[in-house]
Amino acid sequence: MEGSLNMLGYGLATIGPAVAVGLIFAAYINGVARQPEAQSRLQPIAILGFALAEALAIIGIALAFVI
């Protein structure tokens, strides 16, 4: 197998974004549980935060293949 060390490093690098995504959805679920009518307000914000946190993992996968 080639480039397995790169992929190992990428796997470690995704821990950060993974924790971030988990925190975002935990906060979203908490918010909806406390105030169900706020769901339509919270959902775009949660998805947006998820997308921004995920961007780090995506930059990581690009670098894992490039370097």
Partner 1 sequence: MTIATVISAASGGEGFAPPGPADFHLPPLFGEVTKPMVLVVLAAILVFAFTYLAARPAAVVPGRLQFAGEYVYGFVRNGIARESIGSEHFMKFVPYLFSLFLFIAVNNYFGLIPFIQYPTMSHFGFPLGLALLTWVLYIGVGIGKHGFLGYLKHVTIPTGVKGPVLVIIMPLEFLSNILVRPATLSLRLFANMFAGHLLLMLFAFGGEYLLFESTSLINGVAGVLSFVMFGAVTVLELLIMFLQAYVFTLLTATYLGESLADEH
The one-letter code for the residue type at 57 is A
Complex with partner 1: residue 5 or 58, whichever CB lies closer: 58
The one-letter code for the residue type at 48 is L
How far is the first Cα of the chain from the last one, in angstroms, to the nearest whole number?
A: 16
**Shortest distance, position 59 Cβ to partner 1, whole Å:** 7
Residue 6 C-alpha from the chain's centroid: 20
**Shortest distance, position 58 Cβ to partner 1, whole Å:** 5
Interacting residues toward partner 1 by CB under 8 A = 1, 44, 47-48, 50-51, 54-55, 58-59, 61-62, 65
**Shortest distance, position 25 Cβ to partner 1, whole Å:** 12
